[in-house]
Structure 1
């Protein structure tokens, strides 16, 4: 199994309640039911307020590298990530477990 973690930081001046952000969150929330390669899917806002903290996180899992590639290339994932490119930056980590 491969764990796929993504941490998002909203760009300066962008707030969680902006329509484009709420639409971006909704797009990610729906991915778990849209992409068959996902074995596990959760996403949520960070609940702590620390200078080093990111704002939003995705924690997901897929079976193997082929499934990860399929997930990353899936049109629904591409569309959701494209929304976030407008208002956030992110870091990822993929590891086997």
Structure 2
């Protein structure tokens, strides 16, 4: 099993209630039900006010590297990525559990 962790940082001046952000969240929210490769899907806003904290996180799980590749390339995932590129940066970690 591979965990896929993504941490998003909103760009300077972009707020959570920005319509672009709301659309980005809504694009990712249903992926757990849309993409067969996902075994686990969870997302949410950070609640920490620490200055090093990121703003939004996604945690997911897939069976193996091939499933991860199919998830990353899935059209629904890519559609969300296009939206997020407009207002945020992110980091990822993929690790075996």
TM-score (norm 2): 0.99
Residue 74 of structure 1: how far off its partner (Å)? 0.2
CA RMSD in angstroms comes to 0.4
3-state SS, counterpart of residue 48 of structure 1: coil
Q: Which residue of the partner structure matches residue 84 of structure 1?
A: 84
Please state whether the residue corresponding to 1:38 is helix, strand or coil. Answer: coil
Runs of 5+ unmatched residues, structure 2: none
- Structure 1 residue ranges without an equivalent (≥5): none
Displacement of 1:83 after TM fit?
0.4
Whether 2:34 is the aligned partner of 1:53: answer no
Q: Residue 6 of structure 1 aligns with which residue?
A: 6
Which 4+ runs in 1 deviate beyond 4 A? none
Q: Deviations over 1:29-79 (max 9, x none)?
A: 111111000000000000111100000000000000000000000000000
Q: 1-side partners of 2:73 and 2:42: how far apart?
A: 19
